[in-house]
Amino acid sequence: MPTKLGAHTVRLDSMPSILSFAAVASKKEGQGPLGGKFDILNDDTSFGQQSWEKAESQMQKLCVGKALEKANLSPEAIDFMFAGDLLNQCIGSTYGLRDFSIPFFGLFGACSTMSESLTLASMFVDSGLANRCIAVTSSHFCSAERQFRFPLEYGGQRPPTAQWTVTGSGSVVVGKNVKPPYVKAVCVGTIEDLGIKDSNNMGAAMAPAAAKTIQTFFEDTCTNADNYDLIVTGDLGEVGSNLMEQLLAREGISLGTKHNDCGLIIYDRENQQDVNAGGSGCGCSASVLCADILPKIQNGELNDVLFIATGALMSPTSVQQGESIPGIAHLVYLSSQSVRKGVL
C-alpha cells in the first residue's frame, strides 16, 4: 500500500514495475539525437491519415499497440488506461484508443500528462486496485499549432523563447513488481503561477512549478540531487531550465550537473535543427522517457532517476482574455534497484 511522506510525496511500497514501454515519433524527431531509439519512426507526419488530429490519434494507437506487443499482453490484460493530450476534449486519446476497449481515464495535465498518467497508473497498481495499467500521451506539431497558435499556412514568426511541439507519443505498461525499472515514489505537484502571460514562453511559465515540485520532494524525502543519477524535467527548454535553476538556487538548492531537460535532449539545436528554445508538447517528455531514459534504467546505465514532466495549464481562450499561465509539474522516482534507501 502507498505511504504518504511529507506534504505531497507518496512512497509506493510494492515498487511497481514498468513492464514495457514504447515510443513513436516522426521525421524531425528522427533527425535528432534519439533518431535510432524510437520503436516506430514515420517520415510521413500525417501517419497515413486525412487530418493532423487523426494523425495524433494514430500515433497513440500505434504506441499502445507496440507497448502491449513488447509485453506480450492483450488489451484484455490491462485493467485501466490513463491517457491525455493537448487537444480540446483530449480527442487525440479518445479517438485513438477507443478500439482497445480498456477502462479509460481521460487526463489533461498539458505537457505534464506523461508524469501525471504514470503517477496514477503506478498508484493504482501499488494500492491493489489494478494488476496492470497503461499510461500514454502524445502531441503533434501541426495539431498543436492549429489549436494554440495559427494554421501552418499563416507562416507566423517564432520568437527565441518559443519551443517546437514534438510530434511523438510514449506509452508505458505498469504492473506488479517483477523487474526494473521500478517506480519507487511519486510527488504530486501544485499549481504555480508567477504571472507569465506570454504564450510563446512556455518554459518561463512552467519553471516555477518544476522548481516547487523538486523542492517539495527533496524536503519530503530528506534527499538532494546527490542521491540521483539524473533529474530530468519535461519541456522547460533552455529558457525554462535556466529559470528553474535560478528559482531553486534562491532556496539553497543546486542540481549541479544532474539536471537535463527532455526539450533539450530530443533535438540537436547546435546542428541546424531550428527549434528555438527546444522541444515541447506532451509527446516530448513521453517519447524521451520511453526511447532513452527507461532503456538506460533497464540496463543499469542509470540507477536512480527523477522524471518531472511540466505543463502549462492554459487554453487559447484564457490567453486571449489576458490571463496568466499557471504551471504544474509531477515527479516520478524511477530506479533500477528494488532496495530501499532511507525513507525511499
202, 312 Cβ separation under 8 angstroms: yes
Conformation bin of residue 101: beta by default, left when phi > 0, alpha when psi is -120 to 50: left
| 10-residue stretch averages of pLDDT, the chain, 344 residues long | 90 97 95 94 92 93 98 98 94 95 96 97 97 96 74 62 84 97 98 89 91 98 97 93 96 96 89 78 95 97 97 87 94 95 85
Q: Are strands 164-165 and 104-107 parallel, antiparallel or unpaired?
A: unpaired
Q: What single DSSP character describes residue 292?
A: I
Grid coordinates representing 94 are 479518445
**Which residue has 533500477 as its cell numbers?**
336
In the chain, the N- to C-terminal Cα span, in Å, equals 14
Q: Are strands 17-26 and 9-12 parallel, antiparallel or unpaired?
A: unpaired
Domains with residue ranges and CATH for the chain:
17-175 (3.40.47.40), 182-335 (3.40.47.40)
- 309 burial via Cβ count (<10 Å: 0-12, 13-18, 19+): buried
According to the model, what pLDDT value does residue 251 have?
97
According to the model, what pLDDT value does residue 39 have?
97
According to the model, what pLDDT value does residue 150 have?
63
Round to whole Å and give the CA distance between 84 and 341: 33
Residue 243 phi, psi (nearest 5)? -65, -40
Residue 308 three-state SS: strand
According to the model, what pLDDT value does residue 144 have?
72
According to the model, what pLDDT value does residue 160 have?
67
The amino acid sitting at 183 is V
Smallest CA-to-CA distance from 75 within 117, 118, 133 is with 133
Conformation bin of residue 170: beta by default, left when phi > 0, alpha when psi is -120 to 50: beta
pLDDT single digits (tens) 268-297: 877 777 887 778 889 999 999 999 999 999
Round to whole Å and give the CA distance between 169 and 180: 22
Cα 232 from chain centroid? 10
Grid coordinates representing 61 are 494507437
Number of C-beta neighbours around residue 159 at 10 A: 10
pLDDT single digits (tens) 93-141: 999 999 999 999 999 999 999 999 999 999 999 999 999 999 999 998 8
According to the model, what pLDDT value does residue 163 have?
72
Longest pairwise C-alpha distance within the chain: 55
Q: What single DSSP character describes residue 225?
A: G
Smallest CA-to-CA distance from 334 within 293, 285, 277 is with 293
Residue 27 three-state SS: helix
pTM: 0.95
Helix (H) or strand (E) holding 171: strand 168-175
According to the model, what pLDDT value does residue 143 have?
80
